[in-house]
Amino acid sequence: MIQRIQSVYLVAATALVGLLFFFPFSVCVDVLNEETSVKASSYPLVILQTIVFVILVITLCMYKRRMLQIRFCVFNIVALLGYQGVALYMAMREVCSYQITLVFPLVAAILIFLALRAITKDEALVRSLDRLR
């Protein structure tokens, strides 16, 4: 499983999404000049982040069912872009300084896209070998 390049991409994306649970994506300044870090503090972000993480782990484990793995990858890309939009919306409501973790969902979406391309190539190879039999 891990010797395939798409598994490496999916592990890296899972690690990036997992890091989002522990690090804030922005530090906001209140009216009283007190700094507050904004993690995934709202329920939509926590729910979306948990769904993405769980489906990434499931996608990683389904290496024998490539077509289902492709569907999960597409869903994860859409969910990560939605997460990024909600996170930016939440961070733009206040005066904030953004952290590097704000780009983790975009990097994870790119890694999942690269995994999607590799899975599609594997599926095409398997189908071409089935035609030869």
pLDDT band at 78 (very low <50, low <70, confident <90, very high): very high
38, pLDDT greater than 70: no
34, 48 Cβ separation under 8 angstroms? no
Which one has a higher pLDDT value, 126 or 55?
A: 55
Q: Give me the number of domains the chain comprises.
A: 1
| Alpha carbons 122 and 108: distance in angstroms, whole number | 21
Q: What was the pLDDT predicted at 40?
A: 45
In this prediction, residues 59-79 reach a mean pLDDT of 90
- Tell me the residue range of the domain where 15 lies: 5-132
Beta pairing class for 96-98 and 26-29:
antiparallel
| Alpha carbons 9 and 110: distance in angstroms, whole number | 9
DSSP 104-120: HHHHHHHHHHHHHHHHH
Q: What was the pLDDT predicted at 81?
A: 92
Beta strands in 1-133 (DSSP E): 26-29, 35-38, 96-98
123, 67 Cβ separation under 8 angstroms? yes
From the centroid of its chain, how far is CA 112?
A: 7
